[in-house]
Amino acid sequence: MGRPLTVLVIDDSATNRRTLTTLLESSNEVMVLDWAGDGEEGLKKVLDLKPDVVTLDLEMPRLGGHTFLRLLMRASPTPVIVISSYAHKSDVFKALELGAFDFIAKPPRITPETLELLRRELLDKVFAARHVKSGGRHGAALRSAVFSGEAPQVIAVGASTGGPPAVQRLLEGLASEPTASVLVSQHMPSQFTRAFAERLDRIGPFTVTEACDGDVVAPGHVYIAPGGRHMVLTERAGRMELRTPGPVPADKYAPSVDRLFESAAEVLGSRAVAVVLTGMGADGAQGVRSVRREGGETWAESEDTAVVFGMPKEAIATGAVTRVLALDAIGTELALLVGRRRQAAGQ
């Protein structure tokens, strides 16, 4: 075994600091170097101790979490996992845009069961930080075009760790073709997916909503799979609709990227487009096989830009991925593809 991963815990609650330290050090592969009770102290300790990973509470005295992230990412970019309550959803997405690696939602009630779930999620994300690459900052696109009434080109997107900013950048690149319809399966707790959709709706060129069962897929619309449920594409009476079934015990992820991609392959055939962005695990690998068997387009984010090159790597390893692109190129290339298909259809 190599050297343990080192962690700095930043939280103004002594109870939370003790709990996080206990959970982290339940693995002999992790060592908590130290803790800090506010952002100012935390910034000094990060620069001095140079931990592999930082856990960060956003609501702190003296120097808040967002200011801490701005300063840290300029001075010494380090993987940061935000520990947040469900009551501060918008703060979480701002933190991700400022460079946080990922987030974990505090359980609303502390029980042995919720603590064990928190322990597993915390360790999974700390271990994933070994493979983190810092991404570039990006500005928000302006809402601009109004879609016409043609049938949309549907693009299915899967993402996990590092996904929220990556999805935003993809949509910014796709803005020149606002007739597209984008279906996003992003691994995220159920209490956060609606807030994620609302944030993208405010800052991007598309209408963005959390998907509801029975939604008719419309041009210029982005649908975010609801956390804890799947999103699948269906065809009914000549139109495309979405279904949001609940998970079954065998499902590892809900929402599942594989389920989304497989449904797109079944409904769209060779017109299916599946894109795998940054994330941990192998979700999406089986789905790209299904899309490719039908002759569809299967793209993956390159190792150069993926925050975690887990999901794209697994998809590429299947041999079913047709293009591997840097994140900033994906949206632009999707816009070109949509434009070519729209012209070929005479729309």
| DSSP per residue, 15-69 | HHHHHHHHHHTTSTTEEEEEEESSHHHHHHHHHHH--SEEEEESS-SSS-HHHHH
- Check: CB of residue 327 under 8 Å from CB of residue 287: no
Of 45, 69, 71, 44, the residue nearest 56 (C-alpha): 69
- What does the pLDDT average to over 277-293? 96
Decide if pLDDT at 265 tops 70: yes
Answer left, alpha or beta for residue 228, where phi above 0 means left and psi between -120 and 50 means alpha.
left
Neighbouring C-beta atoms of residue 298, cutoff 10 Å:
26
Model pLDDT, residue 238 = 78
- What does the pLDDT average to over 204-217? 92
Would you list the DSSP string of 147-190?
--SSPPPEEEEEE-TTHHHHHHHHHHHTTT-TT-EEEEEE---H
Sign of CA dihedral 234, 236, 241, 247: negative
Q: Give yes or no: 283 in active site.
A: yes
Decide if pLDDT at 288 tops 50: yes
Strand pairing partners for 162?
Answer: none
More confident: 170 or 134:
170
Q: Give yes or no: 144 in active site.
A: no
- What does the pLDDT average to over 146-169? 80
- Check: CB of residue 233 under 8 Å from CB of residue 242: yes
Percent of the chain with pLDDT over 90: 72
Model pLDDT, residue 236 = 85
Strand pairing partners for 273?
Answer: 297
Of the listed ranges 10-14, 44-48, 149-153, the least confidently predicted one is: 149-153
Of 20, 103, 10, the residue nearest 62 (C-alpha): 10
Catalytic residue among 11, 52, 57, 283: 283
Model pLDDT, residue 137 = 37
Question: 27-71 pLDDT, tens per residue?
Answer: 999 999 999 999 999 999 999 999 999 999 988 888 888 999 999
Catalytic residue among 11, 57, 185, 187: 187
- What does the pLDDT average to over 130-134? 64
Model pLDDT, residue 145 = 29
Name the amino acid, one letter, at 102.
D
Residues in Cβ contact with 3 at an 8 Å cutoff, skipping those fewer than 6 apart? none
Question: 85-128 pLDDT, tens per residue?
Answer: 765 677 888 898 888 989 998 888 888 999 999 999 999 999 98
Decide if pLDDT at 313 tops 90: yes
Model pLDDT, residue 226 = 97
Model pLDDT, residue 138 = 35
Long-range contacts of 2-5 (CB under 8 A, 24+ apart): 4/28, 4/29, 4/30, 4/31, 5/29, 5/30, 5/31, 5/52, 5/53, 5/126, 5/127, 5/129, 5/130
Q: How far is the C-alpha of 289 from the C-alpha of 320, rounded, in Å?
A: 5
Model pLDDT, residue 179 = 86
Token couple for 119: 């322990």
Decide if pLDDT at 306 tops 70: yes
Give the CA dihedral 156, 308, 161, 7, nearest 10 degrees.
180
More confident: 143 or 160:
160
pTM: 0.80
Token couple for 196: 């994620």
Residues in Cβ contact with 295 at an 8 Å cutoff, skipping those fewer than 6 apart? 269, 270
Decide if pLDDT at 144 tops 80: no
Decide if pLDDT at 156 tops 90: yes
Catalytic residue among 91, 102, 160, 230: 160
Residues in Cβ contact with 71 at an 8 Å cutoff, skipping those fewer than 6 apart? 43, 63
Backbone angles phi, psi at 101, to 5 degrees: -75, -45
